[in-house]
């Protein structure tokens, strides 16, 4: 039985406005509980919502960035249900006429495949507060600081066919919202939340299978795992002759499994109707033009430019442009004269590894773009080998000075004197006659052994390319 997976993602992106979508309370993260919940956020009797201009602008930025149809007349609707973190007993959201309509975005996977994923819609809504269940034994504690924070809910078409595609899409949207400055993308703090709708069907059929909605996923790694474990679960059920139930399931990262969620989401009739406290949002053409003109170069454009201008692979370009700050860092290196491919390897390799290990953002890197480009240039001009460069990188990271100073003080310059290298090679050939015979007999792997010996003798300063070339000449 060949199964086809169908995945759609619902992403809730917290817009980083200063104040809430319908009130003037602050949206700053990490405040003491309930200190940023004003009368409107608390749903006191008699309070009324007033719409935040910046939230609208941010939604429009997103819509324009994904080439979506903008609904210039959109309506806010009430989604009615009872839950203690929902103060009014309804969430102000958008139902029939969301501000952003159909759009599309291009994604590429690790394997290098490129694909267009449709965006069904994106709409504005308010976030709920938080329920904390472990503060008291007999009570759940409600913090309403988050209530009223603006959210942009981005709904994809069910166009993804694997967990990897879903992750690629999520990462793309994640990069995009940061690029256009509407969201800080902080998944740990909950500013960017992904829910996955997963179903499977027999390959070749049109009809969609019953889907499960997966929630409580706060990293791309877990997104991939959750989807894959869910696909397995659904396959097992169907292969046993059972039926998949439409439900919401929570992902448990420690057990790597999904379990059914029984609460507010249970068979709820939300009784959507247009919110009578708000009027229709009418967007003028002029505003759209203004916003369109103010958009920065978008990730896809930048990626394509990196491919065409710098000759990078799709995959490399995708990774470099995933974060605007990383892309800017890289381009600064190139502006300084670093070679494109080599610079790309170093940014995605040593630099990213060091940043990840120290849980840093590229903006906080102790090695500036200019300094890293210096290092890369020293490899390109054969001053040092790639291997030695790694040591120099470590020294720079620790703040031991600039590239040339480190190379000088530690005497790391590559040996380029061909004569000297030849002499050393002659010496090693003479001392290792057994291996020489085996090599000539056909054990070509031994070349590595000879190279190793030369490197040892030169304390790693011989130019590997030259060493290889000379050895090959002499041993043939």
Partner 1 sequence: MHTLSVAALSKSLKNKEFSSVELTQHYLDRINRSDLNAFITVTDELALSQARAADAKLANGSGSVLTGIPFAHKDIFCTKGVKTSAGSKILDPFISPYDATLSHKLNTENMVMLGKTNMDEFAMGSSNENSFYGPVKNPWNKKMVPGGSSGGSAAAVAGRLSPFATGTDTGGSIRQPSSLCGITGIKPTYGRVSRYGMIAYASSLDQAGPMTQTAEDAALVLNAIAGFDEKDSTSALRDVPDYTKSLRDSIKGLKIGIPKEFFSDGLDSGVEKVIMESMKEFEAMGAELQEISLPNSAYAIPTYYIVAPCECSSNLSRLDGVRYGYRCKDPKDLNDLYLRSRSEGFGDEVKRRIMIGTYALSAGYYDAYYLKAQKVRQLISEDFKKAFQNVDIIMGPVSPTTAFELGAIKDPVSMYLADIYTLSANLAGLPGMSIPAGFSNNLPVGLQMIGNYWSEEVLLNAAHQFQTQTDWHSVLPENI
Partner 2 sequence: MSLNKEQVKEIAQLAKLSINDSEIEQSTIELNNILSLMAELGEIETDHVEPMAHPLEMSQRLREDVVSETDLSEEFQAIAPKTGKHHFLVPTVIE
Question: Could you list the residues that contact partner 1 (CB under 8 A)?
Answer: 39, 42-51, 78, 80, 82, 84, 87-90, 140, 142, 269, 271-273, 276-279
SS (HEC) of 300-339 = HHHHHHHHHHHCCCHHHHHHHCCCHHHHHHHHHHHHCCCC
Min. distance of Cβ 395 from partner 1 in angstroms?
Answer: 58
Rounded to an integer, what distance in angstroms lies between the CA atom of residue 342 and that of residue 109? 22
Q: Pick the stretch among 32-40, 186-194, 346-354, 358-366 that binds partner 2 (CB under 8 A).
A: 32-40
Closest to partner 2 by CB, 78 vs 303, is: 78
Q: What is the layout of strands, in order, in the sheet containing 150-156?
A: 103-108, 114-126, 150-156, 3-14, 192-202, 212-217, 247-252, 257-260
Binding mask 262-281 for partner 2 (x = CB under 8 A): xx-----x-x--x-x-xxxx
Two tokens at 390?
Answer: 């790694």
**Are 203 and 4 within 8 A, CB to CB?**
yes
**Residue ranges in 96-135 that form contacts with partner 2 under rule CB under 8 A:** 131-133, 135
Task: Say whether residue 42 binds partner 2 (CB under 8 A).
Answer: yes
Min. distance of Cβ 269 from partner 1 in angstroms?
Answer: 5
Rounded to an integer, what distance in angstroms lies between the CA atom of residue 141 and that of residue 305? 50
Residues 6 or more apart whose Cβ sits within 8 Å of residue 162: 5, 7
Rounded to an integer, what distance in angstroms lies between the CA atom of residue 6 and that of residue 203? 10
Given partner 2, partner 1, none, residue 43, with its beta carbon under 5 to 8 Å by kind, binds partner 1
Min. distance of Cβ 19 from partner 2 in angstroms?
Answer: 5
Closest to partner 1 by CB, 77 vs 424, is: 77
Closest to partner 2 by CB, 150 vs 209, is: 150
Min. distance of Cβ 235 from partner 2 in angstroms?
Answer: 27
Question: Which one among 55, 166, 187, 467 touches partner 2, defined by CB under 8 A?
Answer: 55
How crowded is the C-beta side of 60, counted as CA atoms within 13 Å? Answer: 24
Residues 6 or more apart whose Cβ sits within 8 Å of residue 153: 10, 11, 12, 13, 93, 122, 123, 124, 125
Closest to partner 1 by CB, 83 vs 449, is: 83
Min. distance of Cβ 327 from partner 2 in angstroms?
Answer: 27
How crowded is the C-beta side of 24, counted as CA atoms within 13 Å? Answer: 1
Q: What is the layout of strands, in order, in the sheet containing 273-274?
A: 90-93, 77-80, 273-274
Min. distance of Cβ 36 from partner 1 in angstroms?
Answer: 15
Min. distance of Cβ 92 from partner 2 in angstroms?
Answer: 12
Task: Say whether residue 19 binds partner 2 (CB under 8 A).
Answer: yes
Closest to partner 2 by CB, 142 vs 372, is: 142
Given partner 2, partner 1, none, residue 334, with its beta carbon under 5 to 8 Å by kind, binds none
Exposed/middle/buried for residue 252 (C-beta within 10 Å: 0-12, 13-18, 19+): middle
Torsion, Cα 131 134 135 138, to 10 degrees, reads: 90
Question: Which one among 4, 12, 34, 115 touches partner 2, defined by CB under 8 A?
Answer: 34
Task: Say whether residue 23 binds partner 2 (CB under 8 A).
Answer: yes
Binding positions for partner 2, rule: CB under 8 A: 17-19, 23-26, 32-39, 42, 44, 50-56, 75-76, 82, 84, 131-133, 135-144, 250, 261-263, 269, 271, 274, 276, 278-282
């Amino acid at each position: 039985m060949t199964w086809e997976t169908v995945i759609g993602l619902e992403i809730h992106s917290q817009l980083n406005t200063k104040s809430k979508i319908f009130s003037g309370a602050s949206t700053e993260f990490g405040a003491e509980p309930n200190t940023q919940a004003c009368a409107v956020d608390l749903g006191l009797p008699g309070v009324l919502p007033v719409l935040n201009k910046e939230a609208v602008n941010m939604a429009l930025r997103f819509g324009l960035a994904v080439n979506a149809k903008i609904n210039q007349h959109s309506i806010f609707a009430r989604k009615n249900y009872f839950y203690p973190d929902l103060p009014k007993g309804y969430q102000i959201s958008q139902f029939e006429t969301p501000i952003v309509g159909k759009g599309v975005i291009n994604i590429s996977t690790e394997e290098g495949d490129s694909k267009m994923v449709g965006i069904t819609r994106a709409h504005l809504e308010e976030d709920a507060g938080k329920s904390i269940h472990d503060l008291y034994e007999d009570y759940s504690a409600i913090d309403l600081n988050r209530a009223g924070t603006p959210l942009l809910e981005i709904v994809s078409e069910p166009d993804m066919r694997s967990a990897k595609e879903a992750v690629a899409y999520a990462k793309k949207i994640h990069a995009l919202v940061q690029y256009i400055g509407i969201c800080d993308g902080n998944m740990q703090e909950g500013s960017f939340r992904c829910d996955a709708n997963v179903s499977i069907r027999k390959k070749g059929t049109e009809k969609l299978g019953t889907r499960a909605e997966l929630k409580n996923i706060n990293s791309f790694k877990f997104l991939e795992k959750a989807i894959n474990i869910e696909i397995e679960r659904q396959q097992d059920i169907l292969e046993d002759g059972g039926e998949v139930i439409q439900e919401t399931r929570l992902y448990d990262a420690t057990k790597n499994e999904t379990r059914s969620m029984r609460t507010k989401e249970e068979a709820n009739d939300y009784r959507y109707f247009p919110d009578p406290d708000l009027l229709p949002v009418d967007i003028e053409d002029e505003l759209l033009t203004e916003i369109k003109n103010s958009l920065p170069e978008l990730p896809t454009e930048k990626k394509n430019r990196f491919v065409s201008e710098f000759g990078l692979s799709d995959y490399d370009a995708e990774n470099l442009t995933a974060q605007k700050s990383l892309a800017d860092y890289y381009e600064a290196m190139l502006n300084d004269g670093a070679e494109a491919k080599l610079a790309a390897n170093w940014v995605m390799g040593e630099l990213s590894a060091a940043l990840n290990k120290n849980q840093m953002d590229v903006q906080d890197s102790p090695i500036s773009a200019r300094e890293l480009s210096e290092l890369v240039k020293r490899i390109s001009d054969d001053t040092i080998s790639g291997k030695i460069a790694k040591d120099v990188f470590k020294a720079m990271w620790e703040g031991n000075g600039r590239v040339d100073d480190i190379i000088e003080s530690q005497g790391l310059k590559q040996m380029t004197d061909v004569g000297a290298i030849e002499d050393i090679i002659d010496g090693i050939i003479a001392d290792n006659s057994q291996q020489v015979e085996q090599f000539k007999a056909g054990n070509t792997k031994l070349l590595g052994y000879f190279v190793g010996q030369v490197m040892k003798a030169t304390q790693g300063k011989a130019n590997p390319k030259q060493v290889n070339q000379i050895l090959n000449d002499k041993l043939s």
